[in-house]
Structure 1
Amino acid sequence: MRIFTKLSAPLCLLFVFLCLKIAFSSSIHASSFSTTHLCSHEEALALLQFKTSFSVDDTASKIESWREGIDCCSWDGVSCDNVTGHVIALNLSCSFLYGTFPSNSTLFFLRNLQSLNLAFNNFKLSKIPSEISQFTRLKHLDVSSFGFSGQVQGEIAHLPKLVSLNLSYSDLILETATFRNLVHNLSEVRELVLSGVNMTSVNPRFFIDYSCSLGECVKRKLSKHPLQQLYILDADYGRRLPESIGDLKSLQSLSLSCNLEGSIPASMGNLSQLTDLELYSSNLSGQIPPSLANLTQLTSLYLSNNQFSGPIPASIGNLRQLTSLNLYSNNLSGQIPSSLANLTQLTSLYLSNNQFSGPIPSSIGNLRQLTSLNLYSNNLSGQISSSLANLTQLPSLDLFNNQFSGPIPTFQGNLSQLTDLDLSSNNFNRQIPSSLANLTQLTSLDLSYNLLNGSIPNSFANLVNLSYLNLSSNHFSDLVVPDMFSLLQNLEILDLSHNNLIGKIPNCLPKSLSVLNLQANYFDGNIAFEFLEGCGLRNLNLHGNQMDGLLPRSLVNCRMLEVLDVGNNNISDTFPHWLESLPDLQVLVLRSNKFHGFVQSTKESPSFPKLRVLDLSSNYFVGALPVRYIENFNAMMDPHGEDGGSSEYMMVSTRTNSYQYSLVVTWKGFEYELQGILTVFSSIHLSNNMFEGEIPDVIGNLSSLKGLNLSHNNLTGHLPPSLGNLTNLEWLDLSSNALTGNIPDALFNTFGNDSYEGNLGLCGIPLSKYCDEIETPPSSFQEKDELWRFGWRVVVLGYGCGVVFGLLMGYLVFGTGKPKWFVSLFDGRPSQSGTKMRKARRLVQRRS
């Protein structure tokens, strides 16, 4: 039920836009009306009584100006005949009216009404009153958009002077008999808008069958054919387009969408008066018929979001009046025809999301009026034609997800209006030309997922308007002048991840930065950033480098921080409890470093209130599991998340782009990079440490947990029954601890044996050991205890001799075998080059 008393912010903006559009359109109908003559007392009274029939949701409603004692011809939305004073036009669109529309409304006293617009009000899905037939002089009727429902009454066909009728976007149902009467009686109709009307019961033999088109039916049955004079037909219905649609010779605008199927009939080329053809978002298939080239008056052609296949006919170059050609999201193939160069009036060309191959024809450079060109997500290849430099009006150029190769063109700096350049996911190689920095208006530049190498040119410092810069997943090796980024004072997103960059991280970054992603490079040394008061950083990702030293305490100044990932480095520090006050921190990854000591809160107030992902694995943390933190992980206690459980991803939106966060997770010993973090995703990964004691019962309160890994520690005691409350859990690993007792049936019979292996004291399903057979082999626990003592001795040695040397000495001196956490720390670390991960990401991201 579409009732809009409360609207979301985006829908409100759309609502306001449509209201303004309707108000402007309605003003055309009323433009010739004057209000110089006082309206009659009876009509003023009828309007005032009509006003009392509804409540008003907003003081901006037009009827708020309706006051007794004031000439009704001066009221908002009311227009009168300048001779008689009769009310002849009433525009109440977007007037925030709320209430059932009464069948005995005093509005029907306005017998001289010629134009009535009731669109965008909330009449609680009332039926259109049959009394509307009393408006015998009505020429324009608009009852669209949410207000009415039910069957369209036959009385609406008894409006003989009707020129335009808009029933769109409602819950109205139009049946065969009523539609037949509309065709029969409304001989003056020139604009018929039925978008969204339920017409599934209209007999196709009458409406749009192969044997009987609208025009033929009218000719045969009524001996006249008013709809052949139709100028605009806008409707949604589930029918095939008949060959006989070409009989509507006067049609100037045709807009059909949603449920069309089959192919476009060749007879469509007979609609010689057509200026706008929109057949979008349906299931139309087959090839685009060459006969469309006969529609030489066309200014816009929209065939997007269908299943058209085959090439674009070369004859499309005959449509020399076209200003907009939209063919995106189909299965079109072949090369882009050079005949498009004839369409010199084109301002927008959308060919994206198809299967076009070959190069971009150089003739595209003739389309000098283009302000929109989208060719992304195709199989286009070769080098980019230098003729694109002629398109000097382009504000954006999107060529991503193709197979272009060779150097990035310089464009000679001719694209002076270009603000957005996206060449990502191609095969460009060589170095970035320094002349690219001549495009000084750029606010967004994306060259990610290519084969670019060499240095990032210092000329990029000239791109002072740049807000978004993504150079990830290439082979860059040097920044040349690292501090150049400090000159880009408008930079909000900087992604240099998955390259071969070496040396020190720039220590001076713009204060405007929201995202800094340097993952999977070779940066080393200390994290030298000084995060100043008012830091706006929301995502800091240094995962998979060679950083050492301490985690900078100035991070507490980044009060908007949502993601902090410093995993797979050499950072040696204690647990950063000073981060617990950050109000928006949701992801904290410290895995595979040299963090050590206890993990415990230092304050009484709730800590990490929004944390959903915690990964402390493969470090040297000791002591009990952090109960005080766990009992305050409120964001992990809501199985639906903050957004009510919808599948949305964490991202940041800037003034030019949106950027989706990524996350490296470990499962079954393998690393995976999630290209998006769902807002309902939560996990705790504390494996490969030296935690001891029991698993706290409070962990069962974390009902939204998707993953829990406590393996390779020294946890003891029974599994708490509360773990059975974790009904959203998708993976569990408690292996290689000293846990004992029965595995609770409530949940864990859904996990395999490998979730519990290495706990000789555990029994029950899925283990093969029954609980009445359990024995505690002293030697096994003695071995575990030896491993534990090994860990502590290593730590002691580490403080005197260095951690690595201490580990080695512990292994050699105490000789307890090769502990798994030792193996994972050294033998199982991912390649710092990130090459394998880049290849995997390419396979996932690129189309087969």
Structure 2
Amino acid sequence: MDIVDLSDNQLNGILEFGNISSPPQLRKLDVGNNNLRGPIPAAISKFTNLVQLDLSHYKTQAPVDFNIFSHLKRLEDLDLSYLNTTTAIDLNDFLSYFKRLERLVLSGNPVSATNKSPVSGPPLLRYLELSGCGITEFPEFPRNQHMEWLDISNNKIKGQVPGWLWTLPKLAYLNLSNNTFTGFGNSTTVSIVNLIASNNNFTGKIPSFICDLRYVYTLDLSNNKFVGLIPRCLGNLKRSLLYLNLRQNRLHGGLPETIFESLRTLDVGHNQLTGRLPRSLIHFSSLEVLNVESNIFNDTFPFWLHSLRELKILVLRSNAFHGPVLQTSFPKLQIIDISHNHFNGSLSSDYFVKWSAMSSLGDNYDQRFDNYMGGSYYHDSMVLMNKGIEMEFVRILKIYTALDFSGNKFEGEIPRSIGLLKGLLMLNLSNNAFTGHIPSSLGNLTALESLDVSQNKLSGEIPQELGSLSFLSYMNFSHNKLTGLVPGGTQFQRLDCTYFEDNPGLFGPSLDEDCRDIHMPTPHETPESEDEEEEEVLSWIAAVIGVIPGIAFGWVIGYILFSYKPEWFIDPFARNKRRISSSTTH
């Protein structure tokens, strides 16, 4: 047997090899991504014919003697990531064990990568991952290797990216994200295909050398402090660039009119960009994700984007978009967020008829491929208001669907055609001026998990059909003019009372059981204002007792007891009614 591959299962327990008298002929051993635990068996040192070894996510729970790997001289591919050990790996010593190693993954382990002495041996290492290893300085040894893939993300490295890095002739993938780098240094590279440098402290303008990259697929400079305009020279990359993420910087000006023929993701959210969306976007025929949130764009609704047949995510949130949202068709759109703008007008009853991607129930992706939006080296991410909180999706499932029209000035009725979006998971129409009834067609949204129609002018009953939506775990109906019986589904009975407030006409078991204590005093408890009023009366009685004797005393007492009738004494529910009717209105 040459190969044993048990990876990506749920195996648990301790890894044991039994008695080994002679070196096994095994060339590949892969038990990675399981639930194995305990010490790594020392007998692994006898597998001297191994070419590939994967022990990733092995829960050692104890110090590791890394010398046991020194006998595996034929190893070409070694993955020891996330061993759950406190034993630091001295990278210089560890690399000296091997003569043929081409791929090494040590991510998630403490690694010492000092530059005090060079690594001996021939320059063969092509693939190195040191993500999350607590490294504080950029290791020097990769400059003498045949490096093609280098991941040094999630460490504590600061200062300039070393200039020699850009001279590596075969370097195609470089991940510098989640460090504290401040600059790129002198750069002359023309080889990098995927550059991920997000979540650092890079300042100044986007460096011009990036425009000289020949065949870059991924460029992620998000969450830095870059200033200035988006370089027009990025148009040099228009035939190769697939993913461009400049999110969360300090860029200003407008979006360039450059036509990116292959671009799939364009994310420029959280900058200071102004003007209109360039109409050249209609030529981005491969575009799947367009995110321009939290800028200062001032434009009308880009209905013309319907020509982008691959568009799946559209985020216009928190800008100065305005005017009516004209009816259009988005055949593949799964997520749309146009919240917190100045859109107005009404939506026709058939507005959502042609939004076909949201009408399916989660079967619009190929199981053979990655389930997340993006590609092999880059995953799309975004922030959505979901279930009442701002939630960051670090990865976006290809089957996730959401519609957020909140924080605008829409009026008229909620379109009945919204009930056609059977694959919808999140719906937010809050903070508008919608009127009329909540459409009963919402009962067709069997996959719906979150519904927010608060802060509108809706009237009538909450549709009883919503009571049968078993996945609906969050609902907010507050600050409307709703009346009638609240549906009796279990999910309604679990709702916090604030999600019904300022709808004085609502009633039903859900409110009676769960919300009664909020609106009325608990037993043996008297409201503060009534306590003070009662104390004043008793003090007056005491004064009268001290001054008026005999019959006059009796007459005064009788008169006081007859005329003083606290509201809580007459009708214990009167205070509750007054609170409901005087709640904050929209």
So what's the TM-score if we normalise by structure 2?
0.75
| Compared CA separation, residues 619 and 289, structure 1 to 2 (3 A) | closer
- Where 1:413 maps in the other structure, the secondary structure is helix
- What amino acid is aligned across from residue 675 of structure 1 in structure 2? V
Aligned residue number for residue 795 of structure 1: none
What residue in structure 1 maps to residue 194 of structure 2?
468
1:270-309 superposed matches below 5 A: 271-272=21-22, 274-276=24-26, 281=31, 286-290=38-42, 293=45, 295=46, 298-300=48-50
Flag the 1:277–1:711 CA change in 2: closer, same or farther, 3 A. same
Q: Distance in 1 between matches of 2:320 and 2:218?
A: 29
> 2: CA distance between counterparts of 1:465 and 1:586?
31
Q: CA deviation at 1:277?
A: 7.6
Distance 2:122 2:44 in 1: 27
Answer whether contact 2:321 2:342 (CA < 8 A) is retained: yes
Give yes or no for contact 2:436–2:459 (8 Å, CA) kept in 1: yes
Change (3 A) 1:745 1:463: same
Structure 1 pair 646–692 and aligned structure 2 pair: CA distance change class (3 A): farther
In the alignment, structure 1 residue 440 sits paired with structure 2 residue 169: yes
- 1:579 equivalent to 2:329? Answer no
- Aligned residue in 2 for 1:790: none
CA separation of 1:385/1:769 partners in 2, compared to 1, >3 Å: closer, same or farther? farther
Q: Is the 8 A contact 2:36 2:59 kept in 1?
A: no
- Counterpart of 2:513 in structure 1 is none
The answer to whether the aligner puts 1:738 opposite 2:490 as a matched pair is: no
Residues 456 and 480, structure 1, Cα contact 8 Å, conserved in 2: no
1:539 CA displacement: 0.4
1:339/1:726 Cα in 2 relative to 1: closer, same or farther (>3 Å)?
closer
Local SS of the residue matching 1:630: coil
Query: Per the alignment, do residues 261 and 577 of structure 1 end up closer, same or farther by CA in structure 2, a change over 3 Å counting?
Result: closer
Superposed CA offset, 1:362-389 (max 9, x none): 2234234221212122233564776358
C-alpha displacement of 1:330: 1.0
**Secondary structure at 2:135's aligned position in 1?**
strand
Give the counterpart of 2:79 among 336, 350, 358.
Answer: 350
In 1: Cα distance, 2:374 partner to 2:348 partner: 30
Asked whether the equivalents of residues 526 and 549 of structure 1 are also in contact (C-alpha less than 8 Å), the reply is yes
* Cα pair distance change 1:234/1:565, threshold 3 Å: closer
User: For the residues of structure 1 that align with 2:232 and 2:585, how far apart are their CA atoms?
Assistant: 38
Q: Spell out, residue by residue over 1:473-516, the C-alpha distance to the aligned partner (whole angstroms, 9 max, x if none).
A: 111112463x3222112011100111122221112211111111
Q: CA 1:647 to 1:772, structure 2 compared with 1: closer, same or farther past 3 Å?
A: farther
Task: Determine whether 1:360 maps to 2:360.
Answer: no
Q: Structure 1 residues 284 and 636, CA, compared in 2 at 3 Å: closer, same or farther? A: closer
- 1:420-435 to structure 2, matched below 5 A, reads 420-435=149-164
Q: CA deviation at 1:647?
A: 10
In the other structure, the counterpart of 2:19 is 268
Q: Secondary structure at the match of 1:331?
A: coil
Q: Aligned in 2, Cα 1:289/1:579: closer, same or farther, shift over 3 Å?
A: closer
Distance 1:470 1:386, change over 3 A: farther
1:662-701 aligned at under 5 Å gives the runs 662-667=381-386, 670-701=389-420
Report matched runs for 1:427-506 at 5 Å: 427-452=156-181, 454-459=182-187, 462-479=188-205, 481=207, 483-506=208-231
* 1:642 aligned to which of 345, 364, 376: 364
> Aligned to 1:508, what secondary structure does the other structure show?
helix
Shift of 1:680: 1.4
DSSP-derived class of the 2:442 partner: helix
Higher relative contact order, chain-length normalized (CA < 8 Å, sep 6+)? 2
2:134/2:155 contact within 8 Å kept: yes
Q: Once the two structures are superposed, what CA deviation does each residue of 1:189-216 show, in whole Å capped at 9, x if it has no partner? A: xxxxxxxxxxxxxxxxxxxxxxxxxxxx
C-alpha distance 730-421 of structure 1, shift in aligned 2 (>3 A): same
Q: Distance in 2 between matches of 1:630 and 1:455?
A: 47
Matches of 1:390 and 1:666, distance apart in 2: 54
Q: Residues 458 and 758 of structure 1: is their aligned pair in 2 closer, same or farther, counting only changes over 3 Å?
A: farther
Count residues with an aligned counterpart: 486
Cα-to-partner distance string for 1:262-282 (whole Å, 9 max, x where unaligned):
5526x513x225333877547
Unaligned residue ranges in structure 2 (runs of 5+): 487-491, 493-499, 509-583
Match of 1:521 in 2: 249
1:531 maps to which of 258, 273, 279: 258
The equivalent of 2:497 in structure 1 is none
- C-alpha distance in structure 2 between counterparts of 1:564 and 1:733, whole Å: 24
| C-alpha deviation, 1:745, in angstroms | 1.4
Deviation (angstroms), 1:636: 0.6
Greater Rg by CA: 1
Deviation of the 1:576 alpha carbon: 1.0
Partners of 2:484 and 2:473 in 1: CA distance: 13
Question: Aligned in 2, Cα 1:719/1:384: closer, same or farther, shift over 3 Å?
Answer: farther
SS of 1:672's equivalent in the other structure is strand
Fraction of identical pairs, as percent: 34
Q: Check conservation: 1:739, 1:762, Cα contact below 8 A.
A: no
Match for residue 706 of structure 1 among 425, 428, 433: 425
Q: What is the root-mean-square deviation in Å for CA atoms of aligned residues?
A: 3.3
Question: Secondary structure at the residue paired with 2:232?
Answer: coil
Correspondence 1:608 to 2:327: no
Q: Is the 8 A contact 1:328 1:354 kept in 2?
A: yes
Q: For 2:346, which of 624, 631, 649 is the aligned residue? A: 624
1:672 Cα offset (Å): 2.2
Q: CA deviation at 1:285?
A: 5.1
> Any conservation in 1 of the 2:56–2:81 contact (CA below 8 Å)?
yes
Which amino acid in the other structure matches residue 764 of structure 1?
L
CA distance in 1, matches of 2:348, 2:158: 49
Q: Does the 8 Å CA contact 2:409/2:432 hold for their aligned counterparts?
A: yes
Q: Please report how far the alpha carbon of residue 575 of structure 1 lies from its aligned counterpart in structure 2 after TM superposition.
A: 0.9
Change (3 A) 1:717 1:389: farther
Question: Residues 756-782 of structure 1, C-alpha deviation per residue, up to 9 Å, x if partnerless?
Answer: 111024443154755699xxxxxxxxx
- Aligned with 2:343: secondary structure? strand
Segments of structure 1 that go 5 or more residues without pairing to the other structure are: 1-231, 238-256, 301-322, 774-817, 821-848
Counterparts of residues 317-336 of structure 1 (less than 5 Å): 323-332=51-60, 333-334=62-63
Q: Which stretch shifts more, 393-402 or 561-570? A: 393-402
Structure 2 residue matching 1:698: 3-state secondary structure = helix
